Every structure is written in structure tokens, then in C-alpha cells.
């Protein structure tokens, strides 16, 4: 098949809410709830406040709302801030089929446009699902190459296309306009992954960068700017430039039959997603063998090729580095008992006991796990005790991943854990009910005041 970019735009334009299976709509609502919870719960972190300060100071037209605080800013600025909030602490959704953080790329951008354009909740949700499905297919076509060679980064490479598609649909641009917005989005595709070796807080804005590029692409398309044909499958398009394997069929596979939402991953732990399997394995070994920190001489964590280099910072110097460190994750598991945002702190980073245990952990490439990588997050952990005994555990389906999925109730529990401090128990429950019934809302602009904490703006 040729002209896959055109076919993908046609699919995104024509997909109707009534054509979407109930389980897809339910999973889309789960992602929506999880993302709004992360935006609110992570909005007070230092780098989140820094990004808000920069864009709030710039000002501009009062088009869209910054959650929690209530600033009214241009669409791109509000979306950038909200996306940074949502991706601020490695606690937002992912998808092992195509990697990146699609919820944080898409939802803040599409909510901001929906607020400005007074789009209904039903139309917002339909655009989000169409954009997610397109984003997933684009990512699926190049994910293995990006993972094995360490970049470019998944959200910044593929995210602008998905956001452009959803934004153009919300703006009513039709099939040709969606295709043109997607073509323009190629201008914004790229991004380096040195953060998973060198730390730094800039990684917190990667999904926001994808959203910003996608929004600009849609508005430029609306204004009449044009992009090239075959932006994805062309001789200098995304698939040929970023991957040695040319897989355009992934862009159009199974429209209406294969759904990217079937492989959503929700994070139970506050760290890069691939570490979840290692944490699960470590927890099981601790429980099964009644292990104590003093019992353990060494720990070896194995991951598939590519993943092993994505979670191997041995001596992190900041919180981002700690969240990409298997050594620290397993030390926290052993010494703190859980891996929630509460445990990922400056105090934990400096804790001598955590540092000492982390020094016992090594990360290796496990070629056997390469056979079970697709749409999974496998890991193997081997513990050797001071007495010389060894025990080992392999996890194929990490908690929260498609093979061991979160239920909607799990997502709701996580949402409440992130929002009750801001809104109180009753307020959190009321907000959750509104989000779960977003398809009944006649105007998305009515939602945003509900996401602002009274008296919080400062």
C-alpha cells in the first residue's frame, strides 16, 4: 500500500464515537483520569513551578487554563504547562507497544484546544481516541529502532504527529487538513535521550514539547501553511530516516480491529516504566524468601536489549537520575517498602543506607528476554545472599502493563491519592465523577474551573 500518511489521516478524520468499542472508550477514560490526576498531583514540584513561571510571565491571550492554579494563557502555553505537570514525576501512562507517554502528549493539548473552541466532552473524547490510535501506529512502526539505538526520544519523535492529528480534528479541518497538520508536524520531530545517562530536569518537558509542536502544526495548517506529502513513508520521511526497517504497513494495520488502547500501561511505581518488572520481581523474592537487606550480597537485574541501557544509572545525582536507576529502585523497594512519589525524594537520594544497597545492584542485557518483549515489560532479578545461596525471579508482565492490567478502580484509587490533598476527599470524588462522565459534558470549558484549587493562584 502507498500513501499511508493519507490513509492514516482519513482514518482519524472518519472515526466516529459510535464506532468505538465500549472497552476502548473505557480505557480512554482511564487514561484521561490518570493524566488529570498526575497533572494535579505533580503540579507543585520544583521544575513544574519553573515552567509555569516562565510561561505565565510571558502572558498573552487568555484562551486556556492552567490546572490547579487557574492562570489563563494562550493555548500553547497552558498546554505546555499542564503537560509538564502531568509528566513531572515519571508517574503518567505509557504503552509498551509503541513507548513514550501518549496521555501526557495528547490530553493537555487537546483539553486546551477544546476549552478555547468550546468543544463538547464527547467530541473531545472522540478526537483523543482517534489521535491516540494514530500516534500508536506511528510509534509502532519505528519503536524497535529507537529503543535499540537509544533515541531519538519516543514522545518528542512521534508525539507531535499524534497531537497535530487530534488538534486538527478538533479544529474541524477535515481529512486534508489533518493530513496537512501531520505533515507540518514533521518539522517538530526529534529529541535526544541523554537524560537516561546524565539526568537533568529537562526531561520533564518532553511530552510538553510534543504537544506544543502538534498544536502549532494544527493552527498553521488552519492558517493555510502546507507540508510535504508522505511525511511518514516518504524517502526522507519519519520511517526511513529513523529506522533501518521500513514498516509502513504498521501505519494502517487493522483499522477498527486492532486498538492501541488495548496495550495501555499505568504506572504503579514512580520511575521509568521498564523498572516495574524488576520491582515486581524483587518484591516477590523478598516475600518468598523472607529476605532482609543484610542478607543480600548482590543483585543482578536483567532487561531486554535497549531497555537495559534505559534504566542503568548507577550513581544518580538528581531525582530524575534516581527515577532511571534500577539500583535505587530496588534499594527503595527493599528499604522503604514501596516506590510511590513519597519515596522519591532528596532525602532518599542522600540516604547512606539506600546508597549502600544500590551499590550491590548491577544491570545487564538479557538476550532471552528479547523473545518476550513485544507489548510487554519483562525483567529478571537474581539475588545472591551473603551465605552464597541464589534465588531468581522473572516477570514477563509487570504490574500495570497489559498482561497484569490496572482496573478502572485501580486508576481511580491512584487518582484520589494524587488529588485529595488539593481538593479534599469529597472534592476529589466529585471531580472523578465529572471526568468519568466527560462524554456528557456539553462544553469542555466548563471542566477547567473544576480543576482549579480555590485560593491556589500565587
pLDDT digits over 198-226, tens only?
999 999 999 999 999 999 999 999 999 99
Reported for 372-376, long-range contacts at CB under 8 A and 24+ positions apart, including other chains, are: 372/304, 372/396, 373/304, 373/307, 374/97, 375/96, 375/97, 375/263, 375/402, 376/96, 376/401, 376/402, 376/403
Q: Do 95 and 105 touch, CB atoms closer than 8 A?
A: no
- Residue from 33, 83, 72 nearest 264 by CA: 33
Whether 183 has a pLDDT exceeding 90, the answer reads: yes
What is the pLDDT at residue 114? 98
3-state secondary structure of 60: coil
Q: CA triplet 332, 333, 334: central angle to 5 degrees? A: 90
Q: Which domains does the chain have, with CATH numbers?
A: 4-263 (1.10.4100.10), 275-395 (3.30.1330.120)
Instruction: Kindly provide the b/e burial profile for residues 42-72, where b requires at least 16 CB atoms within 10 angstroms of the residue's own CB.
Output: bbbbebbbebbeebbeeeeeebbbbbbbbbb
Kindly indicate the confidence band of residue 454, based on its pLDDT and cuts at 50, 70 and 90. Answer: confident
What crossing angle do the helices spanning 154-170 and 4-14 adopt, rounded to 10°?
Answer: 50
Share of the chain above pLDDT 90, in %: 96
Full-model pTM:
0.96
Q: What is the mean pLDDT of residues 251-255?
A: 94
Beta bridge partners of 380: 302, 394
Look at residue 374 and tell me whether its pLDDT is greater than 90.
no
The percent of residues in the chain predicted with pLDDT above 70, rounded, is 99
| CA gap 134, 175 in Å, rounded | 13
Round to whole Å and give the CA distance between 204 and 209. 10
pLDDT digits (tens, 9 = 90+) for 261-291: 999 999 999 999 999 999 999 999 999 999 9
Amino acid at each position: 500500500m502507498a500513501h499511508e500518511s493519507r490513509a492514516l489521516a482519513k482514518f482519524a478524520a472518519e472515526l466516529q464515537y459510535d464506532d468505538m468499542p465500549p472497552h476502548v472508550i473505557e480505557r480512554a477514560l482511564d487514561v484521561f483520569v490518570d493524566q488529570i490526576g498526575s497533572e494535579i498531583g505533580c503540579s507543585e514540584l520544583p521544575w513544574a513551578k519553573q515552567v509555569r513561571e516562565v510561561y505565565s510571565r510571558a502572558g498573552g491571550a487568555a484562551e486556556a487554563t492552567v490546572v490547579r492554579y487557574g492562570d489563563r494563557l494562550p493555548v500553547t502555553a497552558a498546554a505546555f504547562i499542564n503537560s509538564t505537570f502531568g509528566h513531572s514525576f515519571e508517574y503518567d501512562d505509557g504503552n509498551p507497544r509503541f513507548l513514550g507517554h501518549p496521555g501526557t502528549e495528547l490530553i493537555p493539548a487537546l483539553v486546551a484546544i477544546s476549552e478555547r473552541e468550546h468543544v463538547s466532552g464527547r467530541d473531545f473524547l472522540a478526537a483523543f481516541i482517534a489521535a491516540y490510535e494514530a500516534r500508536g501506529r506511528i510509534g509502532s512502526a519505528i519503536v524497535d529502532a529507537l529503543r535499540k539505538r537509544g533515541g531519538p526520544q519516543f514522545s518528542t519523535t512521534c508525539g507531535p504527529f499524534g497531537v497535530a492529528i487530534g488538534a486538527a480534528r478538533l479544529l474541524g479541518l477535515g481529512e486534508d487538513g489533518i493530513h496537512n497538520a501531520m505533515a507540518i508536524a514533521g518539522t517538530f520531530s526529534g529529541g535526544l535521550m541523554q537524560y537516561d545517562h546524565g539526568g537533568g530536569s529537562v526531561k520533564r518537558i518532553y511530552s510538553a514539547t510534543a504537544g506544543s509542536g502538534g498544536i502549532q502544526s494544527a493552527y498553521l495548517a488552519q492558517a493555510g501553511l502546507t507540508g510535504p506529502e508522505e511525511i511518514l513513508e516518504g524517502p526522507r520521511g519519519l520511517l526511513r530516516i529513523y529506522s533501518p526497517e521500513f514498516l509502513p504497513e504498521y501505519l494502517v494495520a487493522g483499522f477498527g480491529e486492532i486498538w492501541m488502547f488495548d496495550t495501555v500501561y499505568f504506572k504503579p511505581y514512580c520511575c521509568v516504566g521498564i523498572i516495574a518488572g524488576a520491582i515486581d520481581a524483587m518484591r516477590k523474592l523478598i516475600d518468598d524468601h523472607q529476605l532482609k537487606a543484610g542478607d543480600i550480597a548482590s543483585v543482578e537485574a536483567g532487561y531486554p536489549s535497549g531497555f537495559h541501557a534505559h534504566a542503568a544509572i548507577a550513581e544518580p545525582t538528581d531525582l530524575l537520575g534516581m527515577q532511571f536507576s534500577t539500583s535505587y529502585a530496588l534499594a527503595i523497594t527493599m528499604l522503604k517498602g514501596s516506590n510511590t512519589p513519597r519515596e522519591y525524594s532528596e532525602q532518599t537520594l542522600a540516604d547512606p543506607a539506600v546508597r549502600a544497597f544500590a551499590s550491590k545492584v548491577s544491570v545487564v542485557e538479557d538476550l532471552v528476554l528479547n523473545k518476550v518483549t513485544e507489548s510487554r515489560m519483562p525483567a529478571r532479578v537474581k539475588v545472591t545472599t551473603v551465605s552464597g545461596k541464589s534465588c531468581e525471579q522473572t516477570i514477563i508482565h509487570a504490574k500495570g502493563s497489559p498482561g497484569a492490567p490496572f482496573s478502572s478502580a485501580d486508576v481511580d484509587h491512584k487518582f484520589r491519592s494524587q488529588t485529595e490533598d488539593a481538593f479534599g476527599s469529597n472534592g476529589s470524588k466529585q471531580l472523578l465523577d465529572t471526568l468519568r462522565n466527560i462524554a456528557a459534558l456539553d462544553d469542555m470549558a466548563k471542566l477547567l474551573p473544576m480543576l482549579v484549587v480555590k485560593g491556589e493562584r500565587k
